[in-house]
Amino acid sequence: MPRFAANLTLMYAEHRFADRFAAAAADGFDAVECLFPYELTADELAEHLRRHGLIQVLFNLPPGDWGAGERGLAALPGREAEFAASVVSALPYACTSGCRQLHALAGLIPVGATAADRDAMRRTYVSNLRHAARMLAQHDITLLIEPISTPSMPGYFLNYQQQAHDLVAEVAEPNLRVQMDLYHCQIMEGDLASRLRRHLDGVGHIQIAGVPGRHEPDTGEINYPFLFDLLDELGYAGHVGCEYRPRAGTSAGLGWWHRASGR
Task: Quote the pTM value.
Answer: 0.96
d(CA 208, CA 182): 5
Burial 181-192, CB ≥16 within 10 A → b, else e: bbbbbbbbbeeb
Q: Nearest-CA neighbor of 21 among 59, 62, 53?
A: 53
Residue 236 within a domain: no
Residue 113 within a domain: yes
pLDDT in tens, 23-46: 999 999 999 999 999 999 999 999
Q: How confident is the model at residue 165, as a pLDDT?
A: 98
Q: Could you write out the DSSP letters of every residue in 251-262?
A: GGGTHHHHHHH-
Catalytic residues: 146, 243
Residue 153 within a domain: yes
CB within 8 Å of 185: residues ≥ 6 apart: 147, 161, 192, 195
Residue 238 within a domain: no
Residue 62 within a domain: yes
The answer, yes or no, to whether residue 127 has pLDDT greater than 80, is: yes
Residue 75 within a domain: yes
Residue 123 within a domain: yes
Number of domains in the chain: 1
CATH of the domain at 177: 3.20.20.150
The boundaries of the domain holding residue 87 are 11-206
Strands of 152-243 (E only): list them. Answer: 176-181, 203-208, 239-242
pLDDT in tens, 193-246: 999 999 999 999 999 999 999 999 999 999 999 999 999 999 999 999 999 999
Residue 3 within a domain: no
